[in-house]
């Protein structure tokens, strides 16, 4: 069985013509769009949820972080399941779970039910999203992969950034429930095409690594739980310190098991000796920490701080939202020619610069015109980093390991997002609050400075990446 699977991975795909590749890009892009959109689509609806449910700041954080937490903790598992049972098969299953959970979220009548549905959504996305990148990597040869990943990165970035506009339009024009109902017809329409148009493929491992799956999930849960709870319980609380300690212990156990005990390790640790793999994943962690922390504050800034409606806020953030769609495909194509390091480095520097300029401008009396240029700069930067990181990660490992690489990358991205939102909320509550627009601005500016700093740290990491990361 091992030989059969290994041979099937090494042989060129039997059907990777233009039609098959086109369907792969479309379906992988739509899957990535749904997953990334639901990371942040509720952001613009937070004030409406606070009014409708009487939700607290903790409830609002959990509405976003419940999805991110489960997503981060299970994405390695999702990638491993795809490698073992078939990437097309698990893509279809993940899409079905995500669609069903979206309907459940729309039917929620309280914060607890909504948070529970968001957790199930995260589980579906943990299977779905890493497989989108794996399917593209498997369908395209290395010399053409950058363009396809550029399109994937543009759609993914658009999903993250366009969430506020869509959420605002739907919340104001219909109701917040429709931000979840919209996923249902899209998911149902995609299912038959995914089942018939995608090529089935598997990874090189003939068996799952159940001990590794449990240790990885437990470790990531502890590491993600700590920052989620820290703004309420305090970073020095027994709960947070225990979660961090448990997370580190389980992660250490996972690494030890993968190195010495696993017959078919789900994460070959030798990948981390590859400078391209390590730096790209570290940059992804800091990218998402910066992006989601800033997004959590910016969507509320336009409503709570500046008094815009949800739709007005979404439209005004559009100068930020549109950049991934315009820039990411071009950046992905150029990264094939000039290497990924340049685009990761410049992109993170632009993201940090834009957020720093935004933080500098946030003060009582600020006008929208003063915020446009910083938003454009940050948006261009994000657009350059998305495809470059994904290309660097998948190109730094053999093709048969693309699923593992995508799983690690998505786990660290989502974990970074959880930390980013938690730290932004912590800084916000220390310097400001929801008592008045002025009080909100007092807390928003320092939180944005921290997000800018995370992007700057990512640029420092990217400076040590190799220019090209072909395995």
Q: What pLDDT is attached to residue 451? A: 93
Give yes or no for a contact between 13 and 199, defined as CB atoms under 8 angstroms apart. Answer: yes
Closest by Cα among 409, 417, 69, 420 to 243: 69
Which CA distances in Å does 289 have to 57, 124, 351? Answer: 19, 22, 12
Give yes or no for a contact between 99 and 174, defined as CB atoms under 8 angstroms apart. Answer: no
Please report, rounded to a whole number, the percentage of residues in the chain having pLDDT higher than 70. 79
| DSSP result, 284-301 | HHHHHHHHHHHHHHHHHI
Q: Vertex 199, ends 194 and 205: CA angle to 5°? A: 115
Q: Vertex 335, ends 333 and 340: CA angle to 5°? A: 155
The more confidently predicted of residues 287 and 337 is 287
**Strand ranges (E), 351-448:** none
Which CA distances in Å does 36 have to 7, 161, 206? Answer: 34, 9, 30
Query: Per residue in 148-161, pLDDT tens?
Result: 776 776 676 666 66
Q: What pLDDT is attached to residue 40? A: 67
Which stretches of 174-274 are DSSP H helices? 178-181, 183-197, 210-233, 238-256
Residue 245: pLDDT band with limits 50, 70, 90: very high
Burial environment of residue 104 by CB neighbours within 10 A (0 to 12, 13 to 18, 19 or more):
middle
Residue 204: pLDDT band with limits 50, 70, 90: low
User: With a threshold of 0.85, does the pTM exceed it?
Assistant: no
The SS3 assignment for 198 reads: coil
Which CA distances in Å does 185 have to 23, 98, 129, 470? Answer: 19, 12, 19, 39
């Amino acid at each position: 069985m091992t030989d059969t699977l290994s041979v099937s991975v090494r042989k060129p795909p039997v059907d990777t013509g233009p039609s098959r590749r086109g369907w792969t890009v479309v379906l992988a892009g739509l899957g990535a769009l749904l997953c990334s959109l639901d990371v942040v689509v509720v952001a613009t609806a937070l004030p409406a949820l606070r009014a409708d449910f009487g939700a607290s700041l903790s409830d609002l954080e959990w509405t976003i972080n419940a999805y991110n937490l489960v997503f981060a903790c299970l994405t390695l598992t999702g990638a491993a399941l795809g490698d073992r049972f078939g990437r097309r098969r698990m893509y279809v299953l993940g899409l079905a779970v995500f669609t069903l959970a979206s309907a459940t979220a729309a039917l929620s009548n309280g914060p607890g039910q909504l948070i529970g549905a968001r957790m199930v959504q995260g589980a579906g996305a943990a299977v779905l999203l890493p497989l989108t990148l794996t399917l593209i990597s498997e369908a395209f040869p290395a010399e053409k992969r950058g363009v396809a990943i550029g399109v994937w990165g543009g759609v993914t970035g658009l999903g993250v950034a366009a969430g506020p506009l869509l959420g605002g339009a739907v919340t104001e024009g219909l109701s917040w429930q429709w931000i979840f109902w919209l996923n249902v017809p899209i998911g149902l329409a995609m299912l038959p095409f995914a089942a018939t148009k995608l090529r089935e493929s598997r990874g090189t491992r003939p068996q799952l690594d159940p001990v590794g799956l449990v240790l990885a999930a437990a470790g990531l849960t502890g590491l993600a739980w700590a920052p989620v709870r820290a703004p309420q319980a305090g970073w020095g609380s027994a709960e947070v310190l225990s979660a961090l300690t448990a997370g580190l212990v389980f992660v250490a156990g996972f690494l030890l098991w993968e190195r010495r005990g696993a017959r078919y390790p789900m994460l070959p640790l030798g990948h981390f000796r590859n400078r391209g793999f390590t730096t790209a994943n570290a940059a992804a962690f800091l990218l998402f920490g910066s992006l989601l922390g800033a997004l959590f504050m910016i969507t509320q800034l336009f409503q709570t701080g500046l008094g815009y409606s949800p739709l007005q806020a979404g439209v005004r953030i559009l100068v930020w939202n549109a950049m991934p769609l315009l820039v990411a495909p071009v950046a992905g194509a150029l990264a094939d020619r000039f290497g990924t390091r340049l685009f990761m480095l410049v992109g993170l520097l632009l993201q940090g610069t834009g957020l720093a300029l935004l933080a500098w401008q946030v003060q009582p009396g600020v006008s929208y015109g003063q915020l446009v240029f910083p938003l454009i700069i940050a948006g261009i930067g994000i657009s350059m980093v998305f495809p470059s990181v994904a290309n660097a990660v998948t190109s730094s490992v053999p093709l048969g390991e693309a699923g593992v690489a995508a799983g690690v990358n998505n786990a660290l991205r989502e974990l970074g997002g959880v930390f980013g939102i938690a730290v932004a909320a912590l800084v916000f509550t220390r310097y400001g609050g929801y008592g008045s627009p002025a009080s909100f601005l007092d807390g928003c500016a320092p939180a944005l400075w921290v997000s800018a700093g995370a992007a700057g740290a990512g640029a420092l990491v990217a400076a040590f990446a190799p220019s090209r990361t072909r395995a």
